[in-house]
Amino acid sequence: MKKNYSSLYILLLGYFFLLCTPIFAQVNNDCRQVFNSGKLVCGNASFSDNSNGAGSVNDLGAVLPGNQAGCLSTGEHQSAWYAFSIQTSGTLTLTINPNNASNDYDFAIWGPGVTCTTLGAPIRCNYSGTPGPTGLSAAGVGTTTGAGGSPFNTPINVVAGQLYYMLVDNFSNNNQGFSLNWGGTARLAVVNALFGTPIVSCNKATFVNTSATCDATATLTYLWDFGDGSPVTADNTLTSPSHIYATPGTYNVSVTVTVNSANVNNGATATYSAPVTITTVPPVPTFSGLADQYCIDAPAVNLSASPTGGTFTIRPNITGAAQTVTQFNPTTLGVGTHTVTYRYVSSTNAACTGEVTKNVKVNALPTVSITGLLANYCPTSPAVTLIGTPAGGTFTVNNVTATQFNPATLGAGTHSVKYTYTDPLTTCTNSTTQSVVISSPPVLAIIGLNNSYCETNPTITLVGTPTGGIFKINNVVATQFNPATLGVGTHIVTYDLGNGCALPITQNVQVTPKPTLNFVGLNPQYCKNIPAFTLQANLTGGIFKIDGTIATQFDANVLNTGVRVVSYEYTSPTDANCKNTITQNVNILRLTTLTFTGLNANYCIDASAFDLTATPAGGTFQINNVNATQFNPTTLGVGSHIVKYTFTDVNTCTNTITQTVNVVPLPTLAFVNVKDTYCISSPSFTMSATPTGGTFKINNVVATQFNPATLGLGNQIVTYNYSDGNGCTNSITKTVQIQTKPVLSFTGL
């Protein structure tokens, strides 16, 4: 019957599962189905459940006379059956709480050591008829209670390994469920080990395993002890095995059950024991000619036993599937322990079977090897002591027992060296063979290595023939010749096969230095105004660069001032890998800025001499390429004159400035209308001269008119002053006589 759970009930089930509380997918209403339905109680965790009918079998009815109802004389109403196993001895109490406090729940407990068909009388039974909680408690009364009695009975003293059955019955018939809480000092197990009465046929006992666990996610593994000391085979791990006993007697059989689970129950165990009695056995069969162990390369063995007429089976590696065989073939079975069983059926009683079992081990061959023996030797090579692993075996050389491999004695050719070893524990033998060639001394050669390299050459991989030898450079093992690392000088390269068959060969290799470069005539600094010059180095044919740009000349006039990087790259014309580069910083110095001070472009010839000056001071002057300190127009004369100033700074950089200075003549003057004499009665006139534009003075008084009558008789000083466009001034003077009028008289009149 399916059960409808509410959402809350589903959540409670999930929670109880985490606490190792069983999940009951279906209410179990029949005792005999208690293990099949997962009703084994899971430890002391509380759980909730329901009851929904009396089940398909009336476990307390007349059809099961071995079961006594005790106080539950009215039988089952809505029943839930459980089983619980004791893990730790102690006292056990429990409380059944109806989900509805008005419900009337009854219960009964049977055990230990009973079955669902032979429960006997319950050891605790409560039919108080009182709604609400019921169970076992320290304050409980008696072991059984009828109507009107206490709802609680006394606790049960339980012992580890015992199994009990419990019925919880809802007398109210309303299907409203309950919860159950455990108490006391005892602990309940999560797994129960149990098997029923063995079925015995002659000497064959078949065991019906009813072991169970409360963990619905778990699987169980079993280990049976049949009590007769038989070897462990796959039969010992079966759920419900059969076992054949060789002699009559009573045997104590036990099964240990282990839980395999993904939760906390993993590894939990339980053990159950019970006797089995064997009264009749057929003749005891025996193997003949089957050893306890074989090597894997041993030939197949025909199986035989007595009495004859039985059947042989083999379980590979003990737990494999049984195979009916007539031979034991180590090679086919492989390394491991294999169970061989011979089963004989009595000719007078088909129910009686004789069986003998033997575990036969197949051993692997030992792993053997020859160490320290080369593939090739020379006839002159020294004798080699033969070493095999594991130690303790024997060697043969060309099928002759030996302890050494002696090339001188064996001579040229291919020789077979064999090492054979027998494992003292398994007596298994294995061998390995190695072919060794004794050959004439080979001709050694070093391939592709020049006698000379520049120190800038790339690394060369060393190659020798025959291959397989060892190179050394200056007696140090090497695989490459690296000129840069080895350095300038002569290096000895040696090639040796290392087997003493051929003398090592050597080659001297010279590492030459990279070209030594020097700049020729390149100073660390230059003035900005130096003439351009051709760049030179001690070795010609390379490439010059200034600040990374290819150049052939150093022209400070077109380069920026400051530090310029001059480099020279040179590659040997005979070896493209032999090269060198040098660099030099060259500082181009800025020239000092020069300026004339107080020097005009033009001077009149009558100008005074003056000292030449310029900034910064301290340089030298030249006029018309003649050293000078003054500029004297009068001395220099009319014309253009070149004034040059040269200055050398603290860096010895010299700068020069020039200026053309003109010395101009004084203007030429002439009176135009001023005569030497005038009559006092002469009329006044405006004076004129050339060039015009000057100033007239008469007797040092500025005037423009010459008036004899005003000036009066005598000599008059007339001056004409004129300044031209160059600022040059000239003057002319004339003495003019003013005479009286002549006295006229007639004569002879």
694-726 residue pLDDT tens: 999 999 999 999 999 999 999 999 999 999 988
**Number of other CB atoms surrounding residue 471 within 10 Å:** 21
Q: What is the pLDDT of residue 376?
A: 83
Angle (nearest 5°) at CA 339 between 333 and 345: 120
- Burial per residue of 217-246, b for 16 or more beta-carbon CB atoms within 10 angstroms, e otherwise: ebebebebbbbbebeebbbbeeebbebbbb
Percent of the chain with pLDDT over 90: 67
> Which of 396, 407, 464, 403 is CA-nearest to residue 439?
407
Exposed/middle/buried for residue 451 (C-beta within 10 Å: 0-12, 13-18, 19+): exposed
Alpha carbon distance 225, 251 (integer Å): 10
Alpha carbon distance 599, 523 (integer Å): 38
Q: State the average pLDDT over residues 487-509.
A: 88
Reported as a single tens digit per residue, the pLDDT across 259-282 is 898 887 888 888 888 899 988 777
Q: What is the mean pLDDT of the chain?
A: 89
Reported as a single tens digit per residue, the pLDDT across 30-56 is 887 777 655 678 788 888 888 777 777
- Return phi, psi of residue 474, to 5°: 55, 40
- Peptide bond just before 65 cis, omega within 30 deg: no
- Return phi, psi of residue 8, to 5°: -60, -40
Angle (nearest 5°) at CA 155 between 149 and 161: 140
H/E stretch holding 16: helix 7-18
Angle (nearest 5°) at CA 649 between 644 and 654: 45
Q: What is the dihedral of CA 669, 675, 677, 679, to 10 degrees?
A: -140
Q: What is the pLDDT of residue 111?
A: 93
Contact predicate 339/231, CB 8 Å: yes
Q: What is the pLDDT of residue 39?
A: 60
Reported as a single tens digit per residue, the pLDDT across 318-353 is 888 989 999 999 999 999 999 999 998 877 777 788
Q: What is the pLDDT of residue 63?
A: 65
Reported as a single tens digit per residue, the pLDDT across 660-694 is 999 999 999 999 999 999 999 999 999 999 999 99
Reported as a single tens digit per residue, the pLDDT across 8-22 is 232 323 333 333 334
Of residues 357 and 747, the one with the higher pLDDT is 357
Residue with tokens 């089963």: 343
Confidence grade of residue 117 (pLDDT, cut at 50, 70, 90)? confident
Reported as a single tens digit per residue, the pLDDT across 70-99 is 999 888 888 888 888 898 999 999 999 999
Who contacts 119 (Cβ-Cβ below 8 Å, separation ≥6)? 31, 59, 64, 66, 67, 68, 110, 165
**Number of other CB atoms surrounding residue 150 within 10 Å:** 16
Confidence grade of residue 57 (pLDDT, cut at 50, 70, 90)? confident
What pTM was estimated for this model as a whole?
0.40
Q: What distances in angstroms separate CA 409 from CA 373, 383, 416, 469, one per listed residue?
A: 16, 9, 14, 25
Q: What is the pLDDT of residue 37?
A: 54
> Which of 700, 675, 669 is CA-nearest to residue 687?
675
Exposed/middle/buried for residue 85 (C-beta within 10 Å: 0-12, 13-18, 19+): buried
Contact predicate 377/410, CB 8 Å: no
- Return phi, psi of residue 483, to 5°: -55, -40
Which SS3 state, helix, strand or coil, does residue 636 take? helix
Alpha carbon distance 296, 294 (integer Å): 6
